[in-house]
Amino acid sequence: MHKSDKILNPTLWHGRGTRSNRVGRFETEIREGFDDGWDQQGDLDALATQVIIEPAKSIISRNDSPDISFEQSINPYRGCEHGCVYCYARPTHCYLGHSAGLDFETKLYAKTNAAEVLERELSAPRYEPKVIALGAVTDPYQPIERSYKITRSILEVLERTQHPVGIVTKSALIVRDIDILERMAAKNLVKVAISITTLDRTVARKMEPRAATPQRRLDAITRLAQSSIPVTVMVAPIVPALNDSEIEKILETAAAAGAQSAGYVLLRLPLELKELFREWLATEFPDRADKVINILRSMHGGKDYVSTFGLRQRGSGPYAEQIGQRFHLAIRRLGIDNRGTYRLRTDLFKRPTRRDGQMSLL
């Protein structure tokens, strides 16, 4: 597909999140398509979802960020077909030579050997069990998981080794794996966070074109809670002048559905995402586009985004403080906790037998 900073014809991005295939920061040239009179459908074909098999050499990623609640994570896929226009992970696709725009939601990478590699890494003598976050970058239950089942295969390894895991998703597909999650929850080995951006189905379709509807996510919360699986609702991201008026209603509805804790994150616009989000605002909410950006900048010291730990997810200034106060007042009134109150067990971990046949001494 051509890489261009130009907003494409609406027939091309119908059903997708972003409006262009904006060139990434590592690209050295811009290529633009043009109408040569032959009425070819190449661009339409290029926007179909493509899955590229990517054998993983390693699978557990580690971080030491002070404002992230986990040190280890696994991402079964690169790119995400949900197409959420606000996704902070979009710029990661540029490392692969792709655009953070339409490429991110159409050119997907599947790590089909993830479970095998995970078992090998868990069997390492020096491995120390710590909670693994599943889907910290892209959604582990995005649509292609239905056929590839990589996330389920990872959960099977984690259950077998009694390893703790935290899952973040906005997909109702997670209920498929309730059989595994329920058994792990009984041993305090799993917690789940469901992200709900808005309760307005029309707005959700614009922001998250291929994600589960708000009602299906609420239904998933109920199913998980009924199976005694700890579930958190994430009001994320909060976009000023677009969905911030729904904070209390989302929390109330999710608590009624069974959510036991809650968290929130403000909209983040790193790198290429700044212009992609502006393009989307101009086409979907032109009447309030300037207001959204102006308020957002007021929460980041006049900038679109500040990457400073502690501020990047919460912002600063009066508007950001007001959002925080509203959130905390709401969860206090509803009797639900901040996320992260569930302490998963690591002492049950059973190191798997190494592939070379060497057994553990203990």
Residue 97 region, left (φ>0) first, then alpha (ψ -120 to 50), else beta? Answer: left
Query: What mean pLDDT comes out for the span 201-221?
Result: 97
> Residue 312 belongs to what domain range?
55-73+112-338
Average pLDDT, the chain: 89
How many whole angstroms separate alpha carbon 343 and alpha carbon 190? 9
246 within a domain of the structure (yes/no): yes
pLDDT for 258-296, tens place per residue?
A: 999 999 999 999 999 999 999 999 999 999 999 999 999
pLDDT of residue 316: 87
Let me know if residue 86 belongs to a domain. no
Q: Which residue has the tokens 């992609």?
A: 276
Determine, yes or no, domain membership for 169.
Answer: yes
Q: So what's the pLDDT on residue 306?
A: 84
Percent of the chain with pLDDT over 70: 86
Extract the tokens encoding 350: 């059973």
Sequence-distant (≥ 6) Cβ neighbours of residue 329 within 8 angstroms: none
At residue 348, does pLDDT exceed 60? Answer: yes
Residue 249: closest CA among 289, 320, 197: 197
More confident residue, 357 or 353: 353
Distance in angstroms (rounded) separating the CA atoms of residues 249 and 334: 11
Q: For the ranges 24-28, 38-42, 111-115, 142-146, which has the lowest average pLDDT?
A: 38-42
Q: What is the mean pLDDT of residues 45-64?
A: 88
Domain count of the chain? 1
Residue 261 pairs with which residues in a beta bridge? 232, 337
DSSP H helical segments within 61-113, as ranges?
Answer: 102-106
| pTM, full prediction | 0.89
Residue 346 belongs to a domain = no
Residue 138 lies in a domain: yes
pLDDT digits (tens, 9 = 90+) for 174-206: 999 999 999 999 999 999 999 999 999 999 999
pLDDT of residue 322: 97
Better pLDDT: 201 or 356? 201
pLDDT surpasses 70 at 1: no
Q: What is the average per-residue pLDDT within 22-27?
A: 71
User: How high is the pLDDT of residue 21?
Assistant: 86
Is pLDDT larger for residue 89 or for residue 41?
89
What pLDDT score was predicted for residue 309?
A: 79
CATH number at residue 319: 3.80.30.30
Evaluate if residue 250 carries a pLDDT over 50: yes
Residue 184 burial (CB < 10 Å; 0-12/13-18/19+)? Answer: buried
Q: How confident is the model at residue 361 (pLDDT cuts 50, 70, 90)?
A: very low
Instruction: Answer yes or no: is 170 within a domain.
Output: yes
Residue 13 in domain: no
| Strand 165-169 with 132-134, pairing | parallel
For residue 31, being part of any structural domain is answered with no
Burial class (CB in 10 A: 0-12, 13-18, 19+), 58: exposed
Mean pLDDT lowest among 34-38, 94-98, 144-148, 156-160: 34-38
Tokens of 270: 């790193």
Cβ-based neighbour number of residue 274 at 10 Å: 16
